[in-house]
């Protein structure tokens, strides 16, 4: 999707008709919207897209759409319209999207008389054809839009880990990269499978009736437990936020500042060790998949191999020849080499003897082949044993490190508690939250165990239902449908897992590539399995600041866009992506601003930046100006009424 034009009419502080045409050429794809100070209406422009597309407005007094001056000047009985119109190009087609509210003043009160929303497609003859309003979701789904329309707060917040943020990120990446189609297919097939379980005819089977009732009970329990888990996860997040608050307060006390810094460092080391442990368990899981079977087989073979005298079979069998072939040679009286085989001759007896070592009369050849397999299996088994031993050593060391760090944290806690005054009070609150978090952790662990148990029960009951279904023709047909549906679901799940692993690997590469060009320090970015991301310093510890949060988010979004633009096999993705940023530069260092100016125009198909004069007229302008096609200035009215006008700057090179 490329944005061609934005038209505002009496929308918020934009009185009358205002237009902005956006640059979208291959050489000049950047549009700059400038204001001298905050409050001029930069964020209102960003939110105008949101209101036009989805009727959402994330601004104070969001129900006040019509310009205040127009409202005051409107006379009783008069009408006025407020609208936002966006002209876009998407996949080679031109659209005009318009949302309009019509207001009328009645008895000195402003009343919304009507509201309208339309999407029109411009055909080859330039005539506009009306489309169904739902078409907006096909052009740019609402959940996806937030990853191309960024205000300063969202840019920073995206890098802050929270549960809702994690889900938003995960959903957006899957949507942008096409995985949501496969997820929707899985959900649909799951629903079908559940409906088949309910369709089983239990009229002539008391046992089936009981199983269906048990299944319903277990599924309700499973749903309830998952709701409880969700609530506990929310509590956990709230408590973690409180902990951050108390930590910040403690840092304000000079007496506790250094101790708090030490504690923070130790807590980060614990997190790092826990992450290492998690990765090492994953490594064990992978090795189990590839080599555990050889290890078990090797142990079993150790019991039986000694019962064979392997030397007895060594080199006596001929691979590829069985006893029947030798019988045919004797019966024919001629060897393969053409030599005669006479009964009772030396050749005759030699062949008879050899027959003892060929299958099926003997296992000699098979045992020799078996011996080779044993050797390979033992080698794999030994490697597996050594690898697992080494991983377990690392895990044990990580656990020891965690124990030592926790002991040190306890010492620091005691020392902070003895500082007296407000420090003691805040530390007591922090400790209380820490204890509550431990209880919360235990409750979450307990619930996860119960959910696994319930899921196992559900699976078992479904298995029993399927067995009972075999005794009834109608149920057997339903069972066969289940088999086919399960097979399709399994293939989709396997394909999804394969594609997701590929995408995650590629996303890591693209985000790292973009991030390394933006960041000035030696920090590295890491994309986790749930698509969240973290910044790691040289010591492997998570470390962020406000500026780093912004750079991290821009690197992450840039990586997604870069990957999506390049595309990938078998999954269709849109070919063009705009990136609209409100106030992304304020908290960045001079060098970071330069990096943003160099990198972002080359990643996004179209870049639109709303920023302050002071942030633009600097090194940022010098670097980005070759990519800038259009510049606009927002000017606030000085007569006391809140009104903004948009002026086009002509001096763009």
What does the buried/exposed string (b/e) look like for 581-605 if buried means 16 or more CB atoms within 10 Å of the residue's CB? Answer: bbbbbebbeeebbbbbbebbbebbb
Q: pLDDT band at 569, cuts 50/70/90?
A: very low
Quickly list DSSP for 555-574: HHHHHHHHHHHH-BTTB---
The predicted structure's pLDDT at residue 22 = 93
Region 472-494: mean pLDDT is: 90
Q: Tell me the C-alpha distance between 84 and 502, whole Å.
A: 41
Sole residue written with tokens 């890098």: 159
The predicted structure's pLDDT at residue 488 = 92
Question: Residue 152: is its pLDDT beyond 60?
Answer: no
Question: Residue 160: is its pLDDT beyond 60?
Answer: no
- Spatial contact of 582 and 43, defined as CB atoms under 8 Å apart: yes
Q: Tell me the C-alpha distance between 442 and 465, whole Å.
A: 35
Question: Residue 275: is its pLDDT beyond 90?
Answer: no
SS3 per-residue string spanning 307-340:
CCCHHHHCCCCCCCCCHHHHHHHHHHCECCCCCE
Between 421 and 279, whose confidence is greater? Answer: 279
The predicted structure's pLDDT at residue 453 = 93
The predicted structure's pLDDT at residue 83 = 95
Region 254-272: mean pLDDT is: 79
User: Mean pLDDT lowest for which of 39-48, 121-130, 301-310?
Assistant: 301-310
Question: Residue 224: is its pLDDT beyond 70?
Answer: yes
Q: pLDDT band at 550, cuts 50/70/90?
A: confident
User: Mean pLDDT lowest for which of 16-25, 442-451, 494-503?
Assistant: 494-503
Q: pLDDT band at 360, cuts 50/70/90?
A: low
Region 374-396: mean pLDDT is: 81
Question: Residue 63: is its pLDDT beyond 50?
Answer: yes
The predicted structure's pLDDT at residue 571 = 44
Question: Residue 167: is its pLDDT beyond 50?
Answer: yes
Region 544-572: mean pLDDT is: 66
The predicted structure's pLDDT at residue 5 = 94
Pick from 101, 41, 42, 38: nearest CA to 71 = 101
The predicted structure's pLDDT at residue 7 = 95
Q: pLDDT band at 139, cuts 50/70/90?
A: confident
Region 69-94: mean pLDDT is: 92
Helix (H) or strand (E) holding 3: strand 2-11
Question: Mean pLDDT for the chain?
Answer: 81
Quickly list DSSP for 171-192: HHHHHHTTTHHHHHHHHHHHHH
Give the SS3 label for residue 95.
Answer: strand
The predicted structure's pLDDT at residue 591 = 84
Give the SS3 label for residue 581.
Answer: strand
Q: Tell me the C-alpha distance between 574 and 604, whole Å.
A: 13
The predicted structure's pLDDT at residue 141 = 73
Question: Residue 359: is its pLDDT beyond 70?
Answer: no
Question: Residue 56: is its pLDDT beyond 90?
Answer: no
Region 47-75: mean pLDDT is: 89
User: Mean pLDDT lowest for which of 183-197, 345-359, 412-426?
Assistant: 412-426
Angstrom CA distances, 191 to 178, 238, 309, 447, 459, stand at 22, 34, 59, 25, 15
256-265 long-range contacts (CB < 8 A, ≥24 apart) are 256/416, 256/419, 256/423, 256/427, 259/412, 259/415, 259/416, 260/416, 262/408, 262/412, 263/409, 263/412, 263/413, 263/416, 265/541
Note the pLDDT tens digit of each residue in 401-428.
898 888 888 888 887 776 666 677 888 8
Helix (H) or strand (E) holding 129: strand 128-131
Between 99 and 619, whose confidence is greater? Answer: 99
254, HSE (Cβ side, Cα atoms, 13 Å): 0
- Spatial contact of 67 and 27, defined as CB atoms under 8 Å apart: no
Q: Residue 14 pairs with which residues in a beta bridge?
A: 11
Question: Residue 485: is its pLDDT beyond 80?
Answer: yes
Between 337 and 629, whose confidence is greater? Answer: 629
The predicted structure's pLDDT at residue 450 = 93
Sole residue written with tokens 């597309």: 53
The predicted structure's pLDDT at residue 118 = 94
The predicted structure's pLDDT at residue 598 = 87
**Where do the domains of the chain lie, and which CATH numbers do they carry?**
2-25+42-139 (3.40.50.300)
Region 439-463: mean pLDDT is: 91
The predicted structure's pLDDT at residue 572 = 47
The predicted structure's pLDDT at residue 77 = 92
Between 131 and 347, whose confidence is greater? Answer: 131
Question: Residue 231: is its pLDDT beyond 60?
Answer: yes
């Amino acid at each position: 999707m490329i944005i061609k034009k934005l038209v505002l009419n009496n929308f918020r502080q934009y009185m009358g008709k205002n237009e902005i045409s956006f640059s979208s050429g291959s050489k000049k794809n950047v549009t700059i919207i400038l204001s001298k100070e905050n409050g001029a209406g930069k964020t209102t422009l960003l939110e105008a897209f949101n209101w036009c597309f989805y009727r959402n407005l994330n601004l104070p007094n969001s129900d006040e759409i019509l310009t205040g001056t127009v409202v005051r000047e409107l006379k009783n009985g008069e009408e006025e319209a407020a609208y936002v119109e966006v002209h876009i190009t998407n996949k080679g087609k031109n659209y005009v999207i318009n949302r309009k509210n019509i207001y009328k003043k009645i008895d000195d009160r402003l009343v919304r008389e009507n509201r309208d929303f339309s999407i029109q497609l411009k055909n080859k003859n330039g005539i506009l054809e009306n489309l169904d309003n739902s078409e907006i979701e096909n052009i740019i789904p609402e959940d996806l839009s937030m990853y191309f329309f960024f205000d300063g707060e969202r840019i920073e917040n995206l890098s802050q880990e929270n549960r809702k943020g994690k889900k938003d990120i995960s959903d957006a990446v899957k949507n942008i990269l096409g995985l949501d189609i496969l997820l929707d297919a899985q959900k649909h097939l799951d629903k079908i499978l559940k409906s088949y379980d309910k369709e089983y005819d239990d009229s002539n089977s008391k046992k089936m009736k009981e199983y269906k009732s048990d299944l319903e009970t277990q599924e309700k329990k499973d749903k309830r437990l998952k709701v409880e888990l969700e609530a506990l996860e929310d509590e956990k997040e709230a408590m973690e936020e409180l902990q951050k608050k108390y930590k910040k307060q403690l840092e304000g006390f000079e007496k506790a500042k250094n101790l708090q810094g030490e504690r923070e460092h130790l807590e980060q080391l614990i997190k790092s060790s826990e992450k290492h442990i998690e990765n090492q368990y994953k490594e064990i899981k992978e090795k189990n998949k590839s080599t555990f079977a050889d290890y078990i087989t090797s142990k079993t073979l150790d019991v039986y191999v000694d019962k064979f005298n392997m030397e007895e079979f060594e080199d006596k069998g001929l691979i590829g020849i069985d006893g029947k072939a030798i019988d045919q040679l004797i019966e024919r009286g001629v060897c393969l080499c053409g030599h005669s085989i006479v009964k009772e001759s030396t050749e005759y007896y030699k062949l008879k003897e050899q027959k003892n070592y060929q299958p099926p009369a003997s296992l000699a050849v098979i045992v020799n082949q078996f011996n080779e397999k044993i050797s390979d299996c033992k080698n794999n088994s030994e490697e597996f044993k050594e690898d697992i031993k080494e991983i377990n050593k690392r895990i044990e060391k990580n656990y020891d490190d965690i124990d030592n760090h926790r002991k040190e944290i306890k010492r620091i806690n005691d020392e902070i508690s003895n500082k007296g005054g407000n420090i003691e009070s805040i530390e007591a609150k922090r400790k209380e939250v820490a204890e509550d978090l431990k209880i919360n952790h235990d409750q979450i662990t307990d619930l996860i165990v119960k959910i696994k148990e319930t899921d196992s029960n559900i699976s078992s009951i479904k298995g029993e239902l399927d067995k009972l279904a075999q005794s009834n023709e109608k149920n057997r047909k339903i069972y066969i449908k289940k088999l086919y549906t399960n097979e399709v679901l399994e293939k989709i799940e396997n394909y999804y897992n394969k594609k997701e692993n590929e995408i995650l690997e590629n996303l890591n590469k693209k985000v790292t590539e973009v991030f390394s060009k933006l960041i000035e320090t030696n920090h590295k970015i890491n994309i986790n399995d749930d698509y969240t991301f973290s910044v790691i310093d040289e010591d492997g510890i998570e470390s962020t600041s406000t500026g780093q949060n912004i750079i991290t988010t821009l690197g992450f979004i840039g990586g997604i866009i870069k990957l999506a633009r390049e595309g990938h096999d078998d999954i269709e993705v849109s070919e063009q992506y705009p990136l609209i940023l409100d106030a992304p530069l304020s908290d960045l260092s001079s060098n970071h601003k330069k990096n943003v100016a160099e990198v972002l125009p080359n990643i996004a198909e179209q870049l639109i930046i709303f920023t302050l004069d002071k942030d633009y007229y600097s090194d940022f302008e010098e670097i980005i100006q070759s990519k800038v096609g259009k510049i606009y200035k927002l000017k606030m009215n000085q007569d006391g009424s809140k009104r903004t006008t948009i002026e086009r700057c002509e001096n763009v090179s």
